[in-house]
Amino acid sequence: MTHLKPLKKSETIEVRLPHATKTAFMARCRDEGRTVSEAMRAFMECEIGGNGRSARTRGWHALAALVAGLALGAVAVPSLAQSQPASRAAFDRLDRNQDGVVSFDEFRR
């Protein structure tokens, strides 16, 4: 019985984009539990996977959703940065001994 080896992932593509867009996309991928590489590979496979119009349409829909998500993320990044003092206050409330680390016991309380 022959076992097929998975294809090596040796090729790269360089894409230029704004830092906020990259950051938002990386955060979204992290929230979805996948790497940026996995997300981009899935998009490319969807784009080249079929030779019919429906596959191409799905690819464009995926691209549109990707761009919309990046745009929304780019808008959200500044607002998240502004909420840092509130986050710091919440952290300080959890860090009862003020050592800069929230232990499990501190978290449970």
pLDDT digits (tens, 9 = 90+) for 9-65: 788 888 888 888 888 888 888 998 988 888 888 888 887 875 445 555 666 777 778
For residue 46, the model assigns a pLDDT of 81
For residue 16, the model assigns a pLDDT of 87
For residue 57, the model assigns a pLDDT of 61
> Phi and psi at residue 88, in whole multiples of 5°?
-65, -40
Q: What is the pTM of this model?
A: 0.41
Nearest residue to 46 via CA among 67, 35, 60, 30: 60
For residue 88, the model assigns a pLDDT of 74
For residue 62, the number of C-alpha atoms closer than 13 Å in the C-beta half-sphere is: 16
Domain ranges of the chain: 36-108
